[in-house]
Structure 1
Amino acid sequence: MIKEVRPDLVRQANAGSVEAQYNLGVLLSQEHSEHDHAAQAVEWYRQAAERGYAMAQYSLGVMISEGRGVPRDDEAAAAWFRKAAEQGHVMAQCSLGVLLVSGRAGTAADRSRAVEWLFRAAMQGCAEAQYNLGLMHTEGLGVARNDAKAADWYRKAAENGYAKAQCNLGMAYAEGRGVPVDPAKAAQWFYKAAEQGCADAQFNFGLMYCFGQGVPKDEHKAVKWFRLAAEQGDATAQCKLGVIYAHGRGVERDDAEAARWYRLAAAQGDAMAQCSLGVMCAEGLGVEKNAAEALEWYRRAAEQGYAMAQYAIGLHFAEGNLVPRDEAQAFDWFRRAAEQGYVKAQYNLAVMVAEGIGVKRNDAQALAWYRRAAEQGYVKAQVNLAVMLDEGQGVPRDASEARRWYQRAAEQGNVQAQARLARLEAAGNGPAAPRPAPLRIRLVRPVAR
């Protein structure tokens, strides 16, 4: 039994009342039982829609776009949305705009028409349309990109209580996009959206507490909001909780709990979580030590281009840890990470090229990789770069440039650089001391983003 009024409603619907046909469609589409009445709902909506009833036209479009009671057909859905939209149905105007901007209406995306329909709905106070207009101005879809206009539309939707718009307005204030940077206002809007259950806003509000931006720094409150987002399945928040438990920030350190959250995020494809879970498996932190599983998680992250995972695989091949030692493979993985700017990989790659490990020795290439790592402030690369310049390896000897890099390394407290710098100055750029041996790098624990 659907509702007590169903017999009367059916008689009215059969007698041709479009209102009854529509209402019967509503009841059937909302019915929760072991029987699916969606197909019947579609038929009643269709009868009213074909007689021009706008609410039925819109509802029929929704059913068709969702594939409920009928095969999904975005082109047909758009046609019904258009009929209702032309009669002034606000949600139909918004839904038609969304379909047109996505290109799901059977033709290429028609963004200019999408803007027109969204604007009509937005001007009638439709928060979803206002939010979508904000997105279009943010991305420059169908309109010129304009952060100020985007923020204005987000504000309209946010003031209407639309959570996604509140979150995006918070981001605008956090990053100064279209509005002045204002961490306090960012936190206020994140909170409004977070209270409505918006996972993105919950994560962002957690970050505000984590770094003390717009609110007093409070790691315990940060954990609360990260957890709320994570429990909704937000992979970024799950990964963040993994970091928090791995390092004991705002909670007692718990490697098993860290691994659990990393695993949840990793299963959703979060590359940082996959790499971090690989570290946990490789070192037996919170889980049983498992070389094969560690390598599998590293590979999943590395295949997404995650530099730390690429570096980790290279390190394991270089050391023969988890996998048989293979210097050529190590070189290849270090190179992938190095080309993305991962400084430890740049340094290790320079060492391998300088020493001819896994590749033909090439001083010029080694110098180039040392320089890239040195320019990022990596002290060991600064020392070896200075030595090569001092000795004229891969480049004509340049004592003044060597001194500059020794100085930068010495300022970071490197004893080798301090000693070499002192000798250079004492000898007036005389003969250099023997070249220091390459420095071995170890994989470090993942750090919080």
Structure 2
Amino acid sequence: MTTHRLRFPAAVAAMVAMAALPGTVRADARDGAAPAASTRAVADFSKCAKPAWPVEALRREQQGRVTLAYRIGADGSVEESKVTKSSGYPLLDEAARFGLAKCTFKLATVNGKPQSAWMQMQYVWTLEQGANDPASQAAFAQTRAAAEAGDVDAQRKLGEMYQQGKGVARDAAQALAWLTKAAEAGNAEAQFGVASFYLASGSGAVSGADAHQWLLKAAEQGHAMAMVGLSAQYSMGKGVDKDPVQAFAWMRKAADAGVPRAFAGLGWMYQTGQGVEPDPVEAVRMLRRGVELGDQAAVQGLALALNQSHAPRDHEEAVALLLKGAEKGNPVMQTLLGKAYRDGRGATADAAAAAEWFRKAAAQSYAEAQFAYADALEQGAGVRKDDAEALRLYELAARAGWPAALQRMLAVAERGELGRPVDVAAAAMLRSRLGAAGGSR
């Protein structure tokens, strides 16, 4: 196992390459023949761009280790990727997955011939001052003394130190205990911290109802991110009954407090009429404000809104926005950009460019892109025709529940296409899945 440390001005990240997943490259000896020589797929770390640390994650000093899996094609490109073990922070997980997909990969081989294979990689996000750093340990001791003496803000900071492993070994139970103590004393940041802890997938304490009470307390004290969290809860009905009006009201307050992401939320609400009368003009105004503040969700939302317009000039602006997000690794925007090139909407039709953007998004396991790239491979549109690879991607998208992929796989099973024989049992199963999804035929 090899570790490479990448130093940032205020932080350190480490990458660890792991062995290719068992069984992905196999060369079994048969009939007494000598086993075939094989090599595993590995990343060339010397040519890797460092994944950008998400600003919000860095501001909150989030850190952790994420385990990723990449399927490397015979041409050295990433065909598929997924998070196999979360760091506990989705922002860090996705930043690592997007960033490392840009690495140069050395191919897996069998008898010197390139083979498609899976490989695993770990990425460690860690701040420079860790548990064993003397300065951090001194700060921890000072903070603990103040916390034990009743200093509420020190209690919050102590909880965060336990959570982040800053000057002390990580301890989730101690982190929650000290954050809760500060939250009960009325500290809004601690209240938001406790809510985030309950909602974090890796905390072992997932409880939307418990999170809601702390988000509400923090939001009522003016904590802007808690307002966004409350809006999301009311919108999704997570930990509280669905209430679109309350969702809109809290998102409006968050926007008034200057949270960039809130403008994307308001744009969506005005577009869809969630908690407010539909107003496409106001939706675009909110999204433009979010774009001005640098929010990527607003960029995506504005691109979608402009793409739905009937004005060609709006379509051209949408493509320009999509390109910015696509180049940063956003799979949704990569897929939308691919569709723009495929359909000649806002850009000159270019089947090869469309296929390449679909391929990049499909490599991030985005189901719509997997289907679109499979269709390009089946048709030979902008890429070499490859029925076997098309079938593999159709199956992946169908497993993810993408309706068009389910329909295509049903046709394959019924008619015996793409190298597959007719399969009555598979067809019946696919009809059942389509029926459950409301897409039966």
TM-score above 0.5: yes
Q: Secondary structure at the match of 1:290?
A: helix
Instruction: Kindly indicate whether residue 375 of structure 2 is the aligned counterpart of residue 351 of structure 1.
Output: yes
Deviations 1:91-150 (A, max 9, x none): xxxxxxxxxx9659xxx7843333222212222222232222222222333433332211
Is the counterpart of residue 308 in structure 1 residue 332 in structure 2?
Answer: yes
1:2-34 deviation per Cα after TM superposition (whole angstroms, max 9, x unaligned): xxxxxxxxxxxxxxxxxxxxxxxxxxxxxxxxx
Q: Percent identity?
A: 33
Q: Helix, strand or coil: the match of 2:278?
A: coil
Conserved 8 A contact 2:326-2:333:
yes
Amino acid at match of 1:328: A
**Deviation string for 1:219-249 (max 9, x for gaps)?**
2222221111111221222211111111011
Contact 1:382 1:405 in 2 (8 A): no
| Partner-residue secondary structure (3-state), 2:178 | helix
Aligned to 2:66: none
Name the Cα RMSD after superposition: 2.9
Q: Which residue is equivalent to 1:35?
A: none
Q: RCO greater where, 1 or 2, for CA within 8 Å and sep 6 or more?
A: 2
The CA distance in 1 between the partners of 2:223 and 2:301, in whole Å, is: 26
Match of 2:343 in 1: 319
AA partner of residue 154 (structure 2): A
Given candidates 350, 353, 368, the residue that maps to 2:392 is: 368
- 1:166 corresponds to: 191
8 Å CA contact 1:115, 1:133 repeated in 2: yes
The answer to whether structure 1 residue 154 and structure 2 residue 192 are counterparts is no
Match of 1:93 in 2: none
Between Structure 1 and Structure 2, the one with more helix by share is 1
The alpha-carbon distance between structure 1 residues 156 and 249, as it changes in their structure 2 partners (threshold 3 A), is: same
Query: Cα gap change, 1:102/1:356 in structure 2, threshold over 3 Å: closer, same or farther?
Result: closer
CA shift for structure 1 position 166? 0.7
CA distance in 1, matches of 2:427, 2:368: 23
Counterpart CA distance in 2 for 1:109 and 1:308 is 44
- Is residue 204 from structure 1 mapped to residue 229 from structure 2 by the alignment? yes
Q: 1:408 to 1:349 in 2, by over 3 A?
A: farther
Counterpart CA distance in 2 for 1:182 and 1:283 is 38
Flag the 1:159–1:312 CA change in 2: closer, same or farther, 3 A.
same
1: CA distance, partners of 2:239 / 2:438: 36
Aligned counterpart for 1:403 among listed residues 427, 431, 437: 427
Paired with 1:404 and 1:121, the residues of 2 have a C-alpha distance of 66
TM superposition score normalised by structure 1: 0.63
The reply on whether 1:217 has 2:235 as its aligned counterpart is no
Judge conservation of contact 1:354–1:363 (CA < 8 Å) in 2: yes
Q: Does 1:337 align with 2:337?
A: no
1:218–1:378 distance in 2 versus 1, CA, 3 Å:
closer
Greater radius of gyration (CA): 1
Q: State yes or no: 1:290 paired with 2:327.
A: no
Structure number with the higher strand fraction is: 2
Q: From the superposition, tell whether residues 109 and 370 of structure 1 become closer, same or farther in structure 2 (CA, over 3 Å).
A: farther
Counting matched residue pairs gives 313
* More displaced stretch, 340-349 vs 111-120: 111-120
Higher mean C-alpha deviation, range 201-210 or range 342-351? 201-210
Q: Give 1:396 shift.
A: 5.1
Residues 113, 307 of structure 1: alpha-carbon distance in 2 compared, 3 angstrom cutoff: same
- What is residue 381 of structure 1 aligned with on the other side? 405
Change (3 A) 1:212 1:355: closer
What stretches of structure 1 of length at least 5 have no aligned partner? 1-100, 419-449
> Does the CA-based 8 Å contact 2:412-2:420 persist in structure 1?
no
Question: Per-residue CA shift, 1:381-421, capped at 9, x if unaligned?
Answer: 12323444566555453625643554345534656xx5xxx
Deviates more, 1:333-342 or 1:314-323: 333-342
Q: Deviations over 1:144-167 (max 9, x none)?
A: 333221111111221232211011
For 2:375 and 2:250, locate their aligned partners in 1 and report how far apart those are by CA, in whole Å: 44
Q: Give the SS at the match of 1:156.
A: helix
| Secondary structure of the structure 2 residue equivalent to 1:227 | helix
Distance 2:222 2:359 in 1: 43
